Chain A
Amino acid sequence: MLVLIRYPYVTGTSVVGIKYKDGILLAADTGASYGSTLRYKSVERIKAIGKHSLLGASGEISDFQEILRYLDELIIYDDMWDDGNSLGPKEVHNYLTRVMYNRRNKFNPLWNSLVLGGVKNGEKYLGTVNMIGVHYEDNHVATGFGNHLARPILRDEWKEDMSFEDAVKLLEKCMLVLLYRDRSAINKMQIAKITEEGTTVYPPYSLKTFWGFSAFANPTKGAEGSW
């Protein structure tokens, strides 16, 4: 039996997603690292899927591109029925879960952590699935470092039916923390929103950073044994 697990080469870092009043907001930076080198700085890691969904990916970028091809085919065949039915975010998420889990069982995973968000018939949906097939839905999800740095913020500060402006501010707060603390993060990010009306992937922009914190001056002060 062939053991095919290898390691990722070109990777994207965290994706964060939250539900808000009109739909879902996703955020991710536009960087792709080659090991410890910040190799590519203009990579779109959030894409629209069909009419009702948005997909954000972290992990191996080439595997993300492969997933986009799978989904492209899925959406095309769905459209070809031409019968008024269409795949919603829940269906896409579960399809992806099956793909990821089946690959994992063959020891040949798609090395990604995915965030799938969308709105259909007024119902908001936000879920995540990763390379080992673990999947769940929630009001806010994140991948990678986002789970450790962003989600605690979201647990405290997310609330139901936030306005677009408040939701963006909250996401920016999360992305700022990730920018300070995640070595693979870059200061160029994209926000994407999806509502009943449709999807919008906003052009990349940068966050304003401040490095004059006194804690940054003496970073190891108070850490016993550190230098």
Chain B
Amino acid sequence: MFRNQYDTDVTTWSPAGRLFQVEYAMEAVKQGSAAIGLRSKTHVVLASVNKSNSDLSSHQRKIFKIDDHIGVAIAGLTADGRVLSRYLRSECINHSFTYESPLPVGRLVVQLADKAQVCTQRSWKRPYGVGLLVAGLDESGAHLYYNCPSGNYFEYQAFAIGSRSQAAKTYLERKFESFTAASREDLIKDALFAIKETLQGEKLTSSICTVAVLGVGEPFCILDQKTVHEYIEALELKEEEAGDQGATMQEDPSSEAAPMDI
């Protein structure tokens, strides 16, 4: 995208019917480090790539528990993601308090989308620069949604956002039909494999990724590093056995940190 005379504020339409500021906000999501989500009938798994700026600093948190039955993974401006997570938590807990019942994910997602839409129609605001993968469980089963800075939301069987997410999406597109009936373990392994795809040759270790699971009878929880490490080992074992069928060959393995996780 190039600069043009219609991109100064969010309340200016371009002649082609585009809101450039909103599109630039979606660019911010594409530049953030990858986050992926996939679901089966009974479980949803979220995983994210967590690169830190330097060895001295800690990793940025990109996966948040919103309630026992809802969690989110974010990509883009993580500060915006944090603020939105606080809003989501607030909505969930207010609902639980009034109705003694968990807020249906579908409704939370709509509320979030409406909140994002407001920022695309006020001259004194800017769109949120973060995309959210919302994983949740309600009466009708497991759900995975993607909330966009534009105020749109979509439901997915599996999805990936952030930098190099296309590699993960390609893998997910190949395998998504098996997800509905997949076991919790297989779902987690698929998630880790998808994350691996976004790393493009760099070694997948439990220190650079985060995995979280949510399912029927299992409240949302972020897996600890040791457990993730074991899954990665199991994954590598499976790869060696199967003889490298899934891994793609990379010409130039890049080792730089994903740009712009501000």
Contact = CB atoms under 8 A, between A and B. Distances in A.
A83 B99 contact: no
A84 B104 CA distance: 10
Given A81-B107, A83-B106, A94 B139 contact: no
Contacts of B104: 83, 85
Contacts of A98: 97-98
Interface in B52-98: 97-98
A94 B106 contact: no
B107 A90 contact: no
A101 to B, nearest CB: 11
Nearest to A93: B100
B140 A94 contact: no
A131 B141 CA distance: 37
Interface string A72-99: 0000000001011101101100110010
Nearest to B99: A91
Contact of A121 (B97, B107, B110, B139): B139
A95 B97 CA distance: 9
Nearest to B105: A85
Interface in B120-140: 138-140
Contacts of B101: 88, 90-91, 94
| Interface size of B as a range | 10 to 19
A66 to B, nearest CB: 18
Contact of A95 (B99, B107, B139, B140): B99
A221 B100 CA distance: 52
B176 to A, nearest CB: 23
A227 B23 CA distance: 90
Nearest to B107: A81
Contacts of B139: 85, 121
A83 B105 CA distance: 11
B92 to A, nearest CB: 14
Contacts of A81: 107, 110
A85 B98 contact: no
Nearest to A91: B99
Contacts of B110: 81, 83
A79 B140 CA distance: 17
A118 to B, nearest CB: 13
A87 B99 contact: yes
B100 A84 contact: no
A55 B100 CA distance: 18
Contacts of B138: 85
A121 B140 CA distance: 11
Contacts of A91: 99-101
Contacts of B106: 83-85
A91 B104 CA distance: 12
Nearest to A83: B106
B99 A94 contact: yes
A142 to B, nearest CB: 22
A83 B107 contact: yes
B67 to A, nearest CB: 15
A93 B97 CA distance: 12
B178 to A, nearest CB: 26
Nearest to B101: A91
Nearest to A92: B99
Nearest to B140: A84
A85 B140 CA distance: 8
Interface string A134-147: 00000000000000
6 closest Cβ contacts across the A-B interface? A91-B99, A94-B100, A85-B104, A91-B101, A83-B106, A94-B99
Interface of A: 81, 83-85, 87-88, 90-91, 94-95, 98, 121
14 contacts: A81-B107, A81-B110, A83-B107, A83-B110, A84-B106, A85-B104, A85-B106, A85-B107, A88-B101, A90-B99, A90-B100, A90-B101, A91-B100, A95-B99
Given A91-B101, A94-B99, 10 more contacts: A81-B107, A83-B107, A84-B106, A85-B140, A88-B101, A90-B99, A91-B99, A94-B101, A95-B99, A98-B98
